[in-house]
């Protein structure tokens, strides 16, 4: 059975739209399928020179009013005060990207994970390493 993983396309394939769903399939080669399930690109595992996980951190204001309203509905006036206080400050949102470098010209494909943790990207790295026939993995992060 062929393993597949879903990502959001960012850049690296000329005729695929940014933001489009992209599926990676691990056949004899690493195969990229677009949202219409068309095979848009294939890379031999031996041609992959690096795979990196890139983390983007976004700081966003918490919702003071929203937390106060919910706290007030659940616990009355004291709940509103506590809910409002808990909404002060910023929260961090993480996005995980997979950068695949391949070929003699160091071509790249950048994909964004739908997952809220790096697990999907780590899974892809492990599958690529498993499918490689040699042990010359020198740039893997």
**pLDDT (tens digit per residue) in 78-104:** 766 665 566 556 678 899 999 999 998
For 35-141, where are the alpha helices, taking DSSP H only?
64-86, 119-131
Which pLDDT belongs to residue 76?
75
Statement: residue 54 has pLDDT above 80: yes
Q: What is the pLDDT of residues 18-50, one digit of tens each?
A: 999 999 999 889 999 998 999 999 999 999 999
For the chain, where are the alpha helices, taking DSSP H only?
64-86, 119-131
Statement: residue 135 has pLDDT above 50: no
CA distances from 71 to 66, 86, 89, 120, 129 (A): 9, 10, 17, 35, 49
Task: Decide: 61 and 47 in contact? Cβ < 8 Å.
Answer: no
**Residue with the larger pLDDT of the pair 14 and 90:** 14
What is the DSSP secondary structure assignment for residue 31, as one 8-state letter?
Answer: E
Mean pLDDT of 113-122: 92
Distance CA 86, CA 137 (A): 46
Which pLDDT belongs to residue 96?
95
């Amino acid at each position: 059975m062929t393993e597949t993983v879903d990502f959001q396309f960012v850049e690296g394939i000329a005729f695929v739209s940014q933001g489009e769903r992209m599926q990676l399939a691990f056949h004899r080669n690493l195969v990229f399928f677009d949202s219409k399930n068309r095979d848009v690109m294939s890379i031999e595992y031996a041609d992959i020179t690096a795979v990196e996980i890139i983390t983007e951190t976004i700081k966003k204001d918490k919702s003071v009013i929203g937390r106060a309203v919910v706290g007030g509905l659940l616990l009355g006036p004291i709940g509103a005060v506590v809910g409002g206080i808990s909404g002060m400050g910023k929260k961090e949102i993480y996005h995980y990207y997979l950068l695949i470098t391949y070929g003699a010209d160091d071509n790249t494909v950048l994909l964004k994970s739908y997952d809220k943790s790096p697990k999907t990207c780590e899974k892809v790295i492990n599958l690529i390493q498993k499918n490689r026939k040699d042990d010359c993995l020198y740039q893997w992060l």
